[in-house]
Amino acid sequence: MAKKKKKTVKGNLPIKKFDLRKRYDVYYHLPKGLAVCKDVLVKGKRTFEETGDPRGALLQYLELEDSKGHTFMLHYLHITMICEAGMNQPFSFIKKKDKD
């Protein structure tokens, strides 16, 4: 039997799928600032259009489920970071630059 090759992008970086059995903290940009949805399961993607529609990327949402079983969707273009649930963020916050 032939060995399966790992899918890679230029530069030989491996492509890994999310483990849909794990819970994640999802950081999301809202008009009032950054929000976090903690301890959620990724259930899938939702769209209003056919998957072959070229506008599909703009119409896709990430379907999430909270710890109480409530399902909700976030537009995937506004997601800024996804970490394993409960993980301390591996970065420091920098003070926002004041507007002139």
- Give residue limits of the domains in the chain: 23-84
State pTM to two decimals: 0.69
pLDDT attached to residue 26 = 92
In whole angstroms, give the CA distance from residue 65 to residue 35: 16
In whole angstroms, give the CA distance from residue 71 to residue 42: 10
pLDDT attached to residue 32 = 87
CA–CA distances in Å: residue 87 to residues 20, 31, 69, 99: 17, 25, 21, 32
pLDDT attached to residue 7 = 59
pLDDT, mean of each 10-residue run, the chain (100 residues)? 57 84 92 90 83 68 93 90 84 61
Query: In terms of DSSP bridges, do strands 79-84 and 33-47 run parallel, antiparallel, or are they unpaired?
Result: unpaired
pLDDT attached to residue 25 = 93
pLDDT attached to residue 87 = 83
